[in-house]
Amino acid sequence: MRTYCRICEAACGLIAEHDEHGQLVRLRPDREHPGSRGHVCAKGTRFLEVARHSERLLHPRLDGRPVSWSEAIDGVAQRLRAVIDAHGPHAVGVYFGNPMAFNAMGAVSTLAFGKALGTRNVFYAGSQDCNNKFAGADIVHGTPVVQAVPDLGHTDLALVFGSNPYVSQSSFVHMEGGSAATFRGILDRGGSIVWVDPRRTESAQRWGEHLAIRPGTDAWLLVGLLALCADGAPSAERVDGWNELRAAVERVSLAEVAARTGIARPEIERLAARLRSAPAAALHMSVGVNMGGFGTLAYVLLQALAWVTGNYDRRGGLLVSPMARTVDRVFRWSGVHNEHRSRVGGFRSLLGTLPGGVLADEILEPGPERIRALVVLAGDPLRSIPGAARTEQALRSLDVLACVDMFESATGRHAHALLPATSWLERWDLAVASMPFLQGPLLPVSGPVMPPQGEARSDTRILAELAVALGLPGPHWRLARLPLDRWLPRPRFGLPVPRVRPGRWLRRNRLRLWDERVADELRRLRAEPSAALDVPWPEADPHAFTLIGRRRRLGHNSWLHGGQRTGPDEAVAWLSPSDLAALGVDDGQLVEIQGSGGSSLRIPVRAAEGMAPRTVVVPHGLPGLNINALIPAGVDRIERVSGQLVMTGISARVIPIQGGAGG
């Protein structure tokens, strides 16, 4: 039976193999799938381990005891209704995690549920990893859902910032045939790849060249490259704000760019020359830049650099899907784009959601509209948002906390109600999140390939049951309670979508490269201290380091909790060999990493080649080791334009534990 993976935008095709009794026994790559062409990463092929994990939540619980679904729904609805009647709709918050982005009906139902409640307090985990791209697209295209994607399948030069697709497949991109085939193909065609990253990642080790950059300074490098390429700008007939942006970046000296980034001036000039001369260049940035403090500015600068070098809306450069405007029309029709602001910090909503960084404050700060009840779906804010101690205090203070999830997460341990949700193997789905990134020819669709485990129900049905019990407006809630999986279409691979046609987008649309948001972010960038964002480099303190995270091949994210899988040698931090020697630390020795957020963790260390000096890398999503607990929280740690939390390139101290040996 054919299905597709719902972990990231790649939406790789899978074959679900069943035994003679109809039991799902294996997931393997679908070699006939026209998009992935037989490529699937281990996160997808081994997801059956997650779906059948021994710690999976299988039955509803209320106040710690197993109950029937009707008792659970009625109990949660009565408590939510009491909060709404006493304190108004804004006293109820909704938080949803990254997996909901790949759950088409669940995502729509979640936003509709928040809208029907009448609360402004809807929060999304995107503020922890990708909100800057939505905010940047709103600047460049006037809507957050239109995204230009790199045409890596036809490019001559790929310039990639803060991404490691060998491990994570990257994000906001769709690579037909998978990352290995895509990047090997560039090299086989005689092209080149440059990976801009503080460390020589697994991707850089396999494909192309590594350009080491000081953590958190990607926006500076983009400023320098844009200034060096400015003279080659094409006609600005379809572009607004180029003159203002050019004047701003040309006021920055290349000497300052080199000092900030740690990249020598001749290297920056050579890279700019390669961009100018390449027949086609595809530029891409991912989470390593998004989370660094200037993600929105970096996004706009990257779009501008693609346009200046003649690579926007061009084969082998950046392309915009013909489905983009369809997605935008649906987005506007839904009404979720309506702007509102957070009570704490006055942050503007993005995609109808507020930054997770103010969730704890919205619960704890006194006031008539503070959050007193919270519904959490496929998310674990206690582990994924910095400032865990304050978040835990906030969760404990709630009158009602209801978690809809596959596992009892760290957040779920404080819940009054736990409502078991289905996995993506157990529901119908349409790859809506992949739509803006597809270059054709199909939009993946799948029905369920195994029955729900235990008493698990889809997020859509759970929300519909709650909405009906609360008496929320909308006849669609009763429809959503029905077993729609039986009736929805299941084409062989998916629904046909038009292929991208280079040159069409700029003939019909305009780009905007400058407004007050860009101006403010450039001023903020230049006002930063002379080293990387929030990173001291005092030679007098040998324990001062910059902390960055990394993905794992088998790990998923901090949401999965009991479904975590740790491969060999993954629960270690990495430092350069010279830094280990300077600290007097041996491979495998325990160290204590002290974060500027006030927390610390103990972890074995290993020497890793290709690391920027004074940089420590800790894996993300390890059971029992939460890198996010090391990160400082607060309103001043949130990028104002996008609501994006600053979660990488932060200051930390690495202290050897004498006599401590790791596993």
**Mean pLDDT for each consecutive 10-residue tract of the chain (663 residues)?**
91 95 96 89 89 94 98 98 98 96 92 94 95 97 94 97 88 86 96 96 96 95 98 92 98 96 97 98 96 96 98 96 84 74 96 96 96 97 92 97 95 97 96 82 92 96 97 88 82 88 93 98 90 46 90 60 53 93 94 88 92 89 80 92 94 87 57
Report which of 314, 137, 303, 136 is spatially closest to residue 225, judged by C-alpha positions. 303
Question: Residues 343, 449: one domain?
Answer: yes
Residue 292 to residue 631: CA distance in whole angstroms: 12
pLDDT of residue 338: 67
The pLDDT, as a whole number, for residue 627 is 86
Total Cβ atoms within 10 A of residue 21: 6
**Is residue 35 domain-resident?**
no
Residue 96, H or E segment: strand 92-96
455-459-465-468 Cα dihedral, nearest 10 degrees: 180
Is there a contact between 662 and 604 (Cβ–Cβ < 8 Å)? yes
Contact 607, 569 (CB under 8 A): no
Angle made by CA atoms 545, 595, 626, in degrees to the nearest 5: 115
The count of other CB atoms within 10 Å of the CB of residue 335 is 11
Angstrom distance (rounded) from CA 255 to CA 530: 12
Q: What is the pLDDT of residue 9?
A: 86
In-domain check, residue 28: no
Residue 87, domain member (yes or no): yes
Rounded distance between C-alpha atoms, residue 419 and residue 62, angstroms = 9
Domain identity same for 411 and 544: no
What pLDDT does 403 receive? 98
Is residue 390 situated within a structural domain?
yes
* Residue 502 forms part of a structural domain: no
3-state secondary structure of 124: strand
| pLDDT on residue 562 | 45
Q: Which pLDDT score is estimated for 561?
A: 45
For residue 601 the two structure tokens come to: 């963790």
d(CA 275, CA 298): 17
Number of domains in the chain: 3
**Domain contains 13:** no
Q: Return d(Cα 378, Cα 229) in angstroms, integer.
A: 44
518 shares a domain with 467: no
- Cβ-contact 40, 180 below 8 angstroms: no
Q: Are both 485 and 538 inside the same structural domain?
A: no
In this structure, the answer to whether residues 429 and 512 fall within a common structural domain is no
CATH number of the domain encompassing residue 267: 3.40.228.10
Return the pLDDT at 662. 59
CB atoms near residue 538 (< 10 Å): 9
Q: Are 136 and 171 in contact (CB under 8 A)?
A: no
Residue 148: phi, psi to the nearest 5? -85, 135
Sequence letter at residue 555: G
Q: How far apart are CA 615 and CA 214, in angstroms?
A: 9
Are residue 405 and residue 513 in the same domain, yes or no? no
User: Would you say the pTM of this structure is higher than 0.85?
Assistant: yes
Tell me: do 445 and 515 sit in the same domain: no
Rg (CA), the chain: 24
How far apart CA 361 and CA 381 sit, in angstroms, is 13
- Number of neighbours of residue 323 by Cβ within 10 angstroms: 19
Answer yes or no: do 91 and 60 share one domain: yes
pLDDT at 534: 42
- Choose among 178, 129, 182, 180: nearest CA to 158: 182
**Is 46 among the domain residues?**
no
Which amino acid would we find at residue 53?
A: H
SS3 call for 600: strand
CATH number at residue 69: 3.40.50.740
pLDDT score for 536: 45
User: Which residues, in sequence order, are bridge partners of residue 318?
Assistant: 150, 312
| Helix-helix angle 295-308:242-250, to 10 degrees | 110
* 378 shares a domain with 437: yes
Instruction: Write out the residue range of the structural domain in which residue 643 sits.
Output: 534-661
Which residue shows structure tokens 């084409």?
A: 491
3-state percent helix, strand, coil for the chain, nearest multiple of 5 = 35, 20, 40
Distance (Å, whole) CA 262 – CA 275? 20
* 141 belongs to a structural domain: no
> Which 3 state secondary structure label does DSSP give 192?
strand
Predicted confidence at residue 569, as pLDDT, reads 65
Give the per-residue pLDDT at 535. 42
CATH number (domain holding residue 601): 2.40.40.20
Q: Report the C-alpha gap between 311 and 276 in whole angstroms.
A: 10
Does 447 share its domain with 375?
A: yes
